[in-house]
Structure 1
Amino acid sequence: MSRSVRSNAHAAARRALLATISVTAVGLCIPAHAADAATDTAESAATPNSAGGTIVVSATRRSDATIKDTALAVTAFSGEQLERLNVTDISDLAALDPSVNIQSYGAAQNKIILRGIQSNVGATSALYLDESAVLGGQGGNILGDGKPGLRLHDIERVEVLKGPQGTLFGTSSMSGTIRVITNKPDLDTWGGHVGADLSTIEDGNPLGKVDATVNAPIVPGVLAVRVTGWAETGGGFVDQLVNDQDYYKNGNDRYVRGVRGQAKLQLSEDFSLLASVTHQRIDVDGSQAFQETNSPYLNTSPTIEIYKDKYTLASLTADYKLGFGAIVASANYTKQNVLATKDSTPTNHLYGLSADLSFVPRVWFKDFNTEIRFLSDFQGPLQLVTGAYYEHTSSLYQTNAIQAPDGVPTCFSYAECRADTSVYEFGTNTDRTIDQYALYGQADLKPFDGFTATAGIRYFQADIHDVVTNLQTVYPDFVFGIVTEPSVTGDSKGTNKYTTYNFALLWEATPDVSLYARAASGFRIGGVNTATSLAQAAGVEFPGTYDPDSLWSYEAGVKGYLFDQALYFDLTAYHVDWSDQQLSASAAGSFAYTINAGKTTSDGAELNLTLKPTSGLTLSGSATYVVSKLAEDLPADVLSAGTIGYKGDRIPLSPKWSASANADYEFPVSETLAGFVGGNVSYHGSSYSSFNDENDYNTYLPSYTLLGARLGLRGEGWEASIYGENLGNEVAIVGVVPSVDGTRMFPVQPRSFGLRFSGNF
């Protein structure tokens, strides 16, 4: 599809969406009759930033408990709070909790970093949507950690579980787990919600968002369905100048559309079924980053860099209550297709090829997993969680080097390019299957009131099989040699086994204050370097596989209430020992692969405060300090591979200091209306993309401070506000990709002002 056709189609979609926003806004401006006084509205709206005892969490996967009574570091945010602070994307959580360091690569690709644990390779943290792990294609030159950019609409709460969660949540949770809990179908009440948001972006295109939810009890008390839909369009602010001729203004417009449907069947008082399907598509018209050597928001790549992500997650959960506990069983299916073009013309020139080149990674990802667990409800001092887990993953990663003489490739995969093989230079297919098995158990013992001891264990095994195929090319000057037929160039199998542990103590020193200590381990599977065969054809050698990495984390904390519960506080200190860290290395400036390093330590502290000094006023703040660094020089084989790191070097992309603060004041305007005003500030410290300047393309990411403000009115069931974001108009870099093709800087959205309306019915 040509760029003009894409632009016209997306322009039409934007006009339709903006019209919908206008109609919704008019409807929501009609005053509603309020049954409660404005003072009651103001009181019910106050939700602390760090939820304290207000929001219950399910971090133990056994039963809901307050944060104060959970023996690990947790922050939680209600759906109401997320909506009022315009948090509609996982990446927005970094503004609420600075310990959540999220590297963002545009509209969909993210890397979640907790407590300085990150490696530029795959995921070190887990993301869950209810009972379903949110999974996606990792590797294959796709940025981020493979998780799709799911939008947050109709959410009950979000929990951030810090530190390893390997016992209860598996191998992808080395540094922690983020849980998104959705609102479930209401079996008895019809209703819903609508929201609309229209904002202007400084020197960019307008951004429009809408969302709507409908809850329908089909058979009251027995069967209900709940459907939520959302859409976004516009928002481009990165310009592109192609070969000093064609200029594309605000080329990174995005078009997001998604839907989540849920059905709950209450077969009896003790047995229920919940079926859920989430589907989302994201298309981005052009480059979402600018080169470090350019002025902000200007990309000068000679090829257009589009992005497409189609994601589906289907799940079925059964909940059966026994007299002494419950059994929860779930089955989940994920399917994801990703296309992420990147200009690679400089690399083409490096090998003596003159054509403009688009490097097109493709991912076709499928996953099925099922889990069954028993949750006890014994009368005595002992409680248990035990379970079994199985997962089968099938992934096809394809890399394609395709000439783009007019700025856009005429084809985007090997199959599509076979009709015109003269533009297809080279590529690889990596067909990967992984089978994972796990058994786990965790026990909580309360020998006396106010004291809980926890011990957990998980045994895990993963069987990995990779088949790498070098794809056909007939390009006459192909520097690596002509391949006339697709051929298998690598067939590798391996098995990883590991056991993770969790030990914790919780002491309720007073009814309002708890202290805890915890030691837990985490683990991540190894894999195969997919570019090995292609590099060997070019005379470049590096290891064909990489090993698992693992860590132990030790933490202690105190949390609770002071001053007659006017102040909630949560203070945690931790130390992490990480071994065989998986790192991204580069050979000959062009071939990325994964290698294991030596030892890494991470030491830090986290503080969360929420203060309610007077009625209607809520002040909250968080601060994070972390020093994540190499505990020894990288091994000789790593140093010789071009990844240079010495004892004491900081882990890339990990700032020492981050902080945020938020203030909300709500006041009565009349008997039916309440006004509100609020502001927020977030600070993110500086970091580097590599260990030190001996690494090629090491890039400095400066610190930044983002300011926001909001002002509005709310009545019973509706709310209208105006807001501003990035008021200082900082060029804040939240993602970086250094390479011979030019270091790409991914920025936050420039200063924007908007109108937001929402209402319930």
Structure 2
Amino acid sequence: MMLDHKRHLMVRASALALLGSITMLAPSQSWAQDAGPAAPEDADAPAGGLGDIVVTASRREATTLSTPINISAIGGDELSKRGVTNFQDLSRAVAGLVYNSASIRDGGASSFIIHGLNLDGVSTGGERPQATVAPVSVYIGETPAFVNIHLADISRIEVLRGPQATLYGNASIAGTLRVLFNEPDPTKVTVDASGNVGATAHAGGQNYSFDSAVNLPITSNLAVRVAGGYTFDHGFIDAPAFYALESDGKPVLADPSDPIHSLPVPKSRKNVNDSELSYVRGMLKFEEGPVRLLATYQHQYEHSDGPDQDSYPGGPAPTAFSSVGDVGAVPAFQNDNFDNVFPHEFDEYETGAFIEQPLTRKVDLGSLEASYDFGFATLTSVTSAYETDSSAVNDSTAGYQKTLGYFYAGYPRILVPSTRDYNEKAFIQEVRLVSASDTPLTYSLGGFYMNQRSHLTSTDYNMGYDDYLTALGAFHTGTDVGYIYERQMRFTDLAAFGELTYHVTSAWQVTGGARVFRQKLDITAINALPICGSACSQDGLDPFGVTSATDRQKKTKVLFKVNTSYEFGNQMLAYFTFSQGVRRGGASGIPTTGTFAEDPAFQFYNPDSVDNYEVGLKGRVGRQFEFTAAAYWVDWKNPQVNVSTPNGGFPAGVNGSTARSLGVDLEAHLLVTEELSLNATYGFNNSKLTGPIVVGGRDYGGDGAKLPGTPHHTASVSANYDKPLASGLILNAQANVSYRSGISTSLTPRSNVDLPGFAIVGASIGISKEAWRLSLYGDNLADVRGVLSAQSLQSTDVRGINNRLSRPRTIGLRFNVFYR
């Protein structure tokens, strides 16, 4: 891992040096302020008015106000002004979009929630994908893959709420998020450079970042654009009591002469959650008459020393690390002095973890878009592929001691590092034919193919346990490997889709859509308990305690969409949408025989589906006010949820019966004066189970239970003020506040924590002049300790509470330089 880390540092340094050299070589005259790439003008926008963003969600260019679905869009210049560089910042600016992850570490899987469609507990974050498919699909450019992408050199981000199966895949049961980059421009040389340096409260050093994008015309119809950057965020979590470790990872004994009763040796460390991200992206674009080609490749590297989590406030002694708390161990816990040596109460921003928890992730994405405009329609082919590879270590000690301590014979130095290695790769091909929009009858037709493979290996060790059993004179299997979970999946999806729109009048349109798909899923899941041996195996003989399950699912289904809208004059649009979505099922591979035998009901889970009903109104009042409003109702059948099995705590996917979600999404934009504009969002959601989840006799959620992770209320308000000064200078000021009400973290009462709501305030002030912008910014100015997720004391020891946190108050300087 260390060599790999150094290699990526060299790649990052080389990329930044190249970008910096190009920046320095660029001519120093003819600078102009960047407002993002030119977009088609909204013909209905009054001169000097707000004007809404041009989007391509419908596979045609249209403004957000003229697109008859529940959609939000934010342009790249607005993202830059607000300092939005990650998905958590983005979620505070979009009505109804929830993101419960906190840092680079959580970028292994989509943690987005739209319209409350989530049953999974939010305490584990998005470090790695679950077996079930995320309910919100994410497209990076034209590639359907979630990447915790650094939001720089972005043209716009589109958030499509509700199932988008017709045009964006069947797995999109809650919505789709699209991240679209600035494309190469063959008409001029451009250079963008930006960066910031800042300090975070409770951290021991500075944060800094640098991003650059260079656009170079090659011929009159061919251009290349290269973007790259590096971000370092200094850690703000302290560890008061790590274990001191031997070179082989086993705990150092405080009393080497007594391997049965000796405690480990504590040591402290500051700022254990430093993180860094680097990326380089190249794009090549060719346009000649009706032909358009766009090739894109991005490599991203991420590293985190540990999660943004604390264990505040801890709890009283005796804890699970004592003969009183660890009821049932034989012999009893062998050193009741543990709570005196290792703290059980913690200050804010202190973790109870015992070891470092590094994560390294590499992501590669590539795509080739080719299109030909026949006049009556445009034929587009998109070929894309991606691969993501990650390796992480998690401290699972506290959870093991709380739930399985009885199994480990009173071991007083329990230490369970969990190593998690994940690889996913996919090839995707899509072809679509989109008609011109100047006829009463328009259509979008296409075909889609995906071949996706993933491999997860998770291994838990109880370090030094075998030596302890040897000293105790007890039976042992000769290994510290406690548990291995391996999951391999191969998924193929072949689909045909289409939308047909008839413009009954110039103001009234009706759209019908369908997607027919055939899917095949092959999944193998293996659980092994080497530390337990043959007693825990499927056949009672395997010395590694192996159990396994294999499943092959084939499914053919048709999903439908109906949409209609009516335009009242040129300023108001009302619409109704009915749409469907579905997710595939799978297998869990849990043991059904042996010491930790589980009910066979946990072995497999079925597909789930939604029916979504939505009405909306959007429009413009005069030249100063724009708004969108939508109300929705979602029926969810057989909803999938990831759980831990009752006997051994194995990961398993199961199905509930029914759930429903209803709510509203509101957004408004007001141009108070030519210099001052206001933006506001509000989302209300009420989502709950409408039938219980009972599997194998265990209750995982009762009828009427609130779905976890989604606040009832989310809101944000932002103000932008741009005041011309003397000598061509412009004063730029911006302020924003976002609020989310409280959430529950799990459907299961034993695992649930009811978290309070919180508000985050940010602001910036600066000056700009044609070629540059400089601003002083502050994020989370009130230094609010925003808790995004937490673990229950009923399921873990106090040292594993693991509150996932928003970043504390951060103040710094941000600069932007443009060459046009």
- 464-473 or 297-306, which moves further after superposition? 464-473
For residues 519 and 706 of structure 1, the distance between their equivalents in structure 2, rounded to whole angstroms, comes to 35
Q: Is the 8 A contact 2:161 2:175 kept in 1?
A: yes
| Residue aligned with 1:398, SS | strand
For residues 52 and 100 of structure 1, the distance between their equivalents in structure 2, rounded to whole angstroms, comes to 23
**Aligned amino acid, residue 518 of structure 2:** Q
For residues 694 and 32 of structure 2, the distance between their equivalents in structure 1, rounded to whole angstroms, comes to 72
**Change in CA separation of 1:34 and 1:306 when aligned onto 2, cut-off 3 Å:** closer
For residues 52 and 74 of structure 1, the distance between their equivalents in structure 2, rounded to whole angstroms, comes to 17
CA shift for structure 1 position 452? 1.1
2:69 aligns with one of 67, 72, 86:
72
Quick check: 1:343 aligned with 2:395? yes
Q: Percent identity?
A: 26
1:279 aligns with one of 277, 299, 302:
299
Q: Is the 8 A contact 2:744 2:752 kept in 1?
A: yes
1:328 aligned residue: 380
Q: Is the 8 A contact 1:425 1:478 kept in 2?
A: no
2:512 aligns with one of 455, 475, 480:
455
1:311 aligns with one of 363, 368, 374:
363
CA shift for structure 1 position 655? 0.9
> How large is the RMSD of aligned CA atoms in angstroms?
3.3
2:677 aligned residue: 618
CA shift for structure 1 position 644? 2.8
Ranges in structure 1 where 5+ consecutive residues have no aligned partner: 39-43, 135-146, 407-419
Quick check: 1:499 aligned with 2:496? no
Alignment map for 1:407-446 (pairs within 5 Å): 422-446=479-503
Q: Is the 8 A contact 1:474 1:483 kept in 2?
A: no
CA shift for structure 1 position 606? 1.3
For residues 492 and 192 of structure 2, the distance between their equivalents in structure 1, rounded to whole angstroms, comes to 41
* 1:300-322 alpha-carbon deviations (Å, 9 max, x no partner): 12222111111111111101111
**Aligned amino acid, residue 178 of structure 2:** R
Larger Cα Rg: Structure 1 or Structure 2?
2
2:141 aligned residue: 130
**Change in CA separation of 1:73 and 1:572 when aligned onto 2, cut-off 3 Å:** same
- 746-755 or 470-479, which moves further after superposition? 470-479
CA shift for structure 1 position 510? 1.5
Q: Is the 8 A contact 1:586 1:641 kept in 2?
A: no
Between the two proteins, the alignment pairs up a number of residues equal to: 709
1:566 aligns with one of 601, 615, 624:
624
* 1:87-143 alpha-carbon deviations (Å, 9 max, x no partner): 111222111113110110521425000011112254101111222112xxxxxxxxx
2:755 aligned residue: 701
For residues 129 and 650 of structure 1, the distance between their equivalents in structure 2, rounded to whole angstroms, comes to 32
**Aligned amino acid, residue 307 of structure 1:** L
For residues 387 and 534 of structure 1, the distance between their equivalents in structure 2, rounded to whole angstroms, comes to 44
1:81 aligns with one of 52, 74, 78:
78
**Change in CA separation of 1:221 and 1:698 when aligned onto 2, cut-off 3 Å:** same
**Change in CA separation of 1:269 and 1:707 when aligned onto 2, cut-off 3 Å:** same
| Residue aligned with 2:702, SS | coil
For residues 34 and 68 of structure 1, the distance between their equivalents in structure 2, rounded to whole angstroms, comes to 33
Q: Is the 8 A contact 1:453 1:506 kept in 2?
A: yes
* 1:228-251 alpha-carbon deviations (Å, 9 max, x no partner): 101111321111231472212111
| Residue aligned with 1:167, SS | helix
2:611 aligned residue: 552
For residues 280 and 744 of structure 1, the distance between their equivalents in structure 2, rounded to whole angstroms, comes to 27
* 1:660-704 alpha-carbon deviations (Å, 9 max, x no partner): 00001110111321011110000011010123xx62121122101
Alignment map for 1:3-22 (pairs within 5 Å): none
* 1:507-548 alpha-carbon deviations (Å, 9 max, x no partner): 111211111111111111111114x13886622334211001
**Aligned amino acid, residue 382 of structure 2:** S
* 1:236-283 alpha-carbon deviations (Å, 9 max, x no partner): 1111231472212111000111111111123x3111211111111111
| Residue aligned with 1:491, SS | strand
1:670 aligns with one of 726, 729, 748:
726
For residues 63 and 457 of structure 2, the distance between their equivalents in structure 1, rounded to whole angstroms, comes to 46
**Aligned amino acid, residue 754 of structure 1:** G
| Residue aligned with 2:560, SS | strand
Quick check: 1:464 aligned with 2:462? no
**Aligned amino acid, residue 456 of structure 1:** G
**Change in CA separation of 1:421 and 1:493 when aligned onto 2, cut-off 3 Å:** farther
1:417 aligned residue: none
2:111 aligned residue: 111
Quick check: 1:745 aligned with 2:743? no
**Aligned amino acid, residue 323 of structure 1:** G
Q: Is the 8 A contact 2:525 2:587 kept in 1?
A: no
| Residue aligned with 1:82, SS | helix
CA shift for structure 1 position 710? 0.3
**Aligned amino acid, residue 235 of structure 1:** H
**Change in CA separation of 1:486 and 1:533 when aligned onto 2, cut-off 3 Å:** closer
CA shift for structure 1 position 403? 3.9
For residues 198 and 535 of structure 2, the distance between their equivalents in structure 1, rounded to whole angstroms, comes to 48
**Change in CA separation of 1:750 and 1:324 when aligned onto 2, cut-off 3 Å:** same
1:166 aligned residue: 165
Alignment map for 1:244-643 (pairs within 5 Å): 245-266=266-287, 268-291=288-311, 293=314, 294-349=346-401, 350-351=404-405, 352-353=407-408, 354=411, 355-377=414-436, 379-404=438-463, 422-470=479-527, 473=530, 483-484=542-543, 489-530=548-589, 532-533=590-591, 538-541=596-599, 542-562=601-621, 564-588=622-646, 590-632=649-691, 634-637=692-695, 640-643=697-700
Alignment map for 1:114-193 (pairs within 5 Å): 114-120=114-120, 121-134=132-145, 147-193=146-192
1:415 aligned residue: none
Q: Is the 8 A contact 2:280 2:299 kept in 1?
A: yes
For residues 29 and 729 of structure 2, the distance between their equivalents in structure 1, rounded to whole angstroms, comes to 10
For residues 69 and 435 of structure 2, the distance between their equivalents in structure 1, rounded to whole angstroms, comes to 20
CA shift for structure 1 position 491? 2.3
Alignment map for 1:671-690 (pairs within 5 Å): 671-690=727-746
1:57 aligned residue: 55
**Aligned amino acid, residue 616 of structure 2:** G
Q: Is the 8 A contact 1:340 1:360 kept in 2?
A: yes
Quick check: 1:645 aligned with 2:702? yes
**TM-score between the two structures when normalised by the length of structure 1:** 0.87
For residues 166 and 315 of structure 1, the distance between their equivalents in structure 2, rounded to whole angstroms, comes to 21
**Aligned amino acid, residue 687 of structure 2:** S
* 1:170-200 alpha-carbon deviations (Å, 9 max, x no partner): 1221111111111111112112111111110
For residues 11 and 543 of structure 1, the distance between their equivalents in structure 2, rounded to whole angstroms, comes to 41
- 728-737 or 707-716, which moves further after superposition? 728-737
CA shift for structure 1 position 474? 6.9
Q: Is the 8 A contact 2:224 2:284 kept in 1?
A: yes
1:412 aligned residue: none
**Aligned amino acid, residue 730 of structure 1:** V
Q: Is the 8 A contact 2:693 2:699 kept in 1?
A: no
For residues 548 and 505 of structure 1, the distance between their equivalents in structure 2, rounded to whole angstroms, comes to 29
For residues 754 and 699 of structure 1, the distance between their equivalents in structure 2, rounded to whole angstroms, comes to 34
For residues 194 and 216 of structure 1, the distance between their equivalents in structure 2, rounded to whole angstroms, comes to 15
For residues 363 and 164 of structure 2, the distance between their equivalents in structure 1, rounded to whole angstroms, comes to 25
Q: Is the 8 A contact 2:667 2:681 kept in 1?
A: yes
For residues 405 and 745 of structure 1, the distance between their equivalents in structure 2, rounded to whole angstroms, comes to 28
1:96 aligned residue: 93
* 1:390-438 alpha-carbon deviations (Å, 9 max, x no partner): 10111111111124569xxxxxxxxxxxxx9844333132221011111
For residues 87 and 645 of structure 1, the distance between their equivalents in structure 2, rounded to whole angstroms, comes to 38
1:413 aligned residue: none
* 1:126-166 alpha-carbon deviations (Å, 9 max, x no partner): 111222112xxxxxxxxxxxx33111111111111111111
Q: Is the 8 A contact 2:787 2:804 kept in 1?
A: yes
